Structure 1
Amino acid sequence: MNDTEGHVDILVCMAGTGGTGFGTASYLRSRNPNLQVVLVQPHPDSRLTPEHPGRRPENQGKNIVVIVPDNGMKYLSTPMYRQK
């Protein structure tokens, strides 16, 4: 909250942090009823590249907070972690 001065516009949570995301979203919505919450599931083909950096012009200047799992245990059996 100190880093955003108490204002968050968008909360992004990875699947697997549902409880954390729900609790965080509930609190942040009490401060900003217009909070946008996005739940994402990583996909092996959804890598960011220079041609597709993942930025959206409509989000410029907004405070975006991202919550990710602290480790990749959930995804170790997926193609995302395959060794080449």
Structure 2
Amino acid sequence: MTNPVKTVIQVNLEMALEVAHELELAPSTQLGAYCLEILREIGCTGTELPLNLQTRDQQLNFITGFASYAFGEVQNV
């Protein structure tokens, strides 16, 4: 028997990785702006990136994690 939860998580991860892959070539300013947009969407009011989102890798990980969560929410509606 296939575990449906595992299947959903795998699909979400694949979709999130696609988003991250598309943004890998984006300029740093675009990644930073996208991170700020995500932060605003979840209720943060700052205008600068926090210390834990200063590097390109941190920003890509944040975007990938958020995309995975977002796809999970959409898929479970």
Q: TM-score, normalised by structure 2?
A: 0.26
Q: Which has the larger radius of gyration?
A: 1
Higher helix share: 2
Q: Which has the higher strand share?
A: 1
Q: Give the TM-score normalised by the residue count of structure 1.
A: 0.25
